[in-house]
Amino acid sequence: MAKERVSKLRIRKSNHALNRSAAGDFGINLMLLIFAAFMVIPLIYSIMQAFKPLNELFLYPPRFFVVSPTLKNFKDLFRLMGTSWVPFSRYIFNTAFIAIVGTFGNVMLSSLAAYSLAKLKYPGRKFLFNMIVYSLMFNSTVTGICNFLTISWLGLVDTYFAIIIPAWCSTTGLYLMKQFMESSVPDEVLESARLDGASEARVLWTIAMPMVKPAWLTLIIFSFQGLWGTGASIYIYSEQLKSFSYAMGQVLAGGIARSGAGAASGVIMMIVPILVFVVSQSNIIETMSTSGLKG
């Protein structure tokens, strides 16, 4: 009986996947297509807007697709950048500095802590990890008010570090890194390295870290994406310390005359994180596969 079933299964599997009906496949793919369109159309529309000349931007009835694409909006944007009070390169530097230093610190501190929580044994490490998990359950709105006090007491207001240092201890990254390290670095490898006389720092740096490459790539990308979008911050009021995203927002806020340049700035802001994701997708997915929370 059972044998018969198995052979039936084999036959079915050869022309169709297990437990899948053709009608179901059709329905599901249709839904997938509709929702994919819903997700992508606004993004495509914003790209279209960026390449439309002024008369097409204010056409009635409005058209979705661009008819005679132009780079004028991008040229306008760069011209506007050239005339801003603070040189535009300064905004780019600000964002780059915040993103690079913030990401570097976050990856370093998270790696050290994740290794310690995942692979070293000492009293209290479960408690520390539980605190990290609880911290994932609320967002920074709750801590915002007191952080404003802390940051002013520390004298960090109106410096890059008001944004950078809180980014160093973002817990999502540590959580992902710890889970990945726990499941993809075997204890025996670490133990044999220790028996060979390697110091803990050496074990971490030359054995554990190369094995968790997908995890730290993911951390780099998440942290970078978060910091790239840093907009106006309550901690920073000097114009020359403000971010690229803030400056782009100012272009957009310039009213109807700048609609074209505004659309171009929107495209620049969105294209960078998307490209970064395209390049790193497989590493991120690999990291996510170990992200589960037991219990």
Partner 1 sequence: MNENEAAVRPASRKEKRPTARKDMTKIGWTLHEMRRGKMGYFLVAPFMILFFIFTVLPVLLSIFFSFTIFNMLEPPEWIFLDNYISLFLDDDIFLIAVKNTLIFASITGPGSYLLSLLFAWFINELTPKLRSVMTLFFYAPSISGGAYMIWQLMFTTDQHGIVNGLLMKAGVISQPIAFFQNPDYIFPLIIVIALWTSLGTSFLVFIAGFQTVNRDLYEAAAIDGIRNRWQELWYVTLPMMKPQMMFGAIMAITGSFGFGGIITALVGFPSPDYCAHTIMHHLSDYGGTRMEMGYASAIAVILFFMMIGANLLVRKLLDKVGK
| Window 239-278: residues binding partner 1 (CB under 8 A) | 245, 248-249, 252, 263, 266, 269-271, 273-274, 277-278
210/173 Cα distance (integer angstroms) = 17
**Per CB under 8 A, does 2 bind partner 1?**
yes
Q: Is 130 exposed, middle or buried (0-12, 13-18, 19+ CB in 10 A)?
A: exposed
Contact positions with partner 1 (CB under 8 A) in 134-163: 134-139, 141-150
Of 34-63, which residues contact partner 1 (CB under 8 A)? 35-36, 38-40, 42-43, 45-46, 49, 57-62
- Tell me whether residue 35 or residue 93 sits nearer to partner 1 (CB atom): 35
In the block, which residue shows the tokens 């171009």? Answer: 264
Kindly identify the residues of this chain, within the stretch 184-243, that bind partner 1 according to CB under 8 A. Answer: 200, 204, 225, 228-229, 231, 234
Least Å distance, CB 43 to partner 1, is 6
Residue choice 20, 75, 79, 202 for contact with partner 1 (CB under 8 A):
20
The least distance separating partner 1 from the CB of residue 123, rounded to whole angstroms, comes to: 3
Among 159, 172, 233, 250, binds partner 1 (CB under 8 A): 172
The Cα diameter of the chain in Å comes to: 82
Interface residues for partner 1 in 69-108 (CB under 8 A)?
none
What's the closest the beta carbon of residue 79 comes to partner 1, in angstroms?
A: 22
Total number of residues that touch partner 1 (CB under 8 A): 107
Shortest reach from residue 131's CB to partner 1, in Å: 7
Handedness of CA 267, 269, 270, 273 (dihedral sign): positive
CB 220 within 8 A of CB 107: yes
Residues 111-130 within binding reach of partner 1 (CB under 8 A): 112-113, 115-117, 120-128
**Closer of 15 and 141 to partner 1 (Cβ):** 141
Q: Of 78 and 134, which has the nearer Cβ to partner 1?
A: 134
**Minimum distance between the CB of residue 160 and partner 1, rounded to whole angstroms?**
16
In the complex, the smallest distance separating the C-beta of residue 225 from partner 1, rounded to whole angstroms, is: 6
Closest distance of CB 161 from partner 1, Å: 12
